[in-house]
Amino acid sequence: MSLDGILMILWYAAKPWLWFIALLVLALVASLWLGRHKQGKPHGLLWPTAIAAGLVAMLVAPMLTQSQLGYVTTWPDRLVLLTIGIGTMLYGWLLLKSWFRQA
């Protein structure tokens, strides 16, 4: 399948979720903007919280697709699951980093 074809299908897949993607971006922008004046070092719980969010996403993702974790068996399966986990972790970190600060 051509790259054009793959991108076109991804676009069609994303279309029903554009509102959700917009919401995520909006939440991120709002969090960064509102928290821009917060001072202090990052809180020690920032990374553990982000990592926990990533792990929860990895556990929940198969169930959200009406499958189960036990069926994540091939290396592409694991790679996709890992990508979901890392993506959620990074998003969570960016979302919380302005707020998880200590004086």
Partner 1 sequence: MSASPTQPLRRKLLLGLAAGAAVTSPAALLAKPLRSQARIVILGAGAAGIAMANRLRRSIAGARITLVGARAEHHYQPGYTMIASGLWRPERVLSSTQQWLANDIDWLAHDVTAINARQQWVQLSNQQQLGYDLLVVATGCQLNYHQIEGFETSMIGQHGIGSVYASPAAAQATSTQIDALIAKGAGRALFTLSDTPLKCAGAPLKMTFTTVSRLEKTGQRERFQVDFFSPYQNRVFAVPTYNEFVLKRWQEQSVGFFDQRLLTGLDAHSRQAFFRHKDGSTSKEAYDFIHVVPPMSAPDVVKASDLVWQDGPFAGNWLEVDQYSLQHRRYPNVFGVGDVIGTPFGKTAASVKMQAPVAERNILAFLSNQPLNARYNGYTSCPLITSIGRAILSEFGYEGKLMPSFGFISPTEESWLVWMMKEQMLQPAYNAMLHGKV
Q: 10 or 32, CB closer to partner 1?
A: 10
Q: Is position 20 an interface residue for partner 1 (rule: CB under 8 A)?
A: no
Q: 9 or 29, CB closer to partner 1?
A: 9
Q: Is position 62 an interface residue for partner 1 (rule: CB under 8 A)?
A: yes
- Residues 12-37 as b/e (b if ≥16 CB within 10 A, e otherwise) read eeeeeeeeeeeeeeeeeeebeeeeee
Q: 43 or 72, CB closer to partner 1?
A: 72
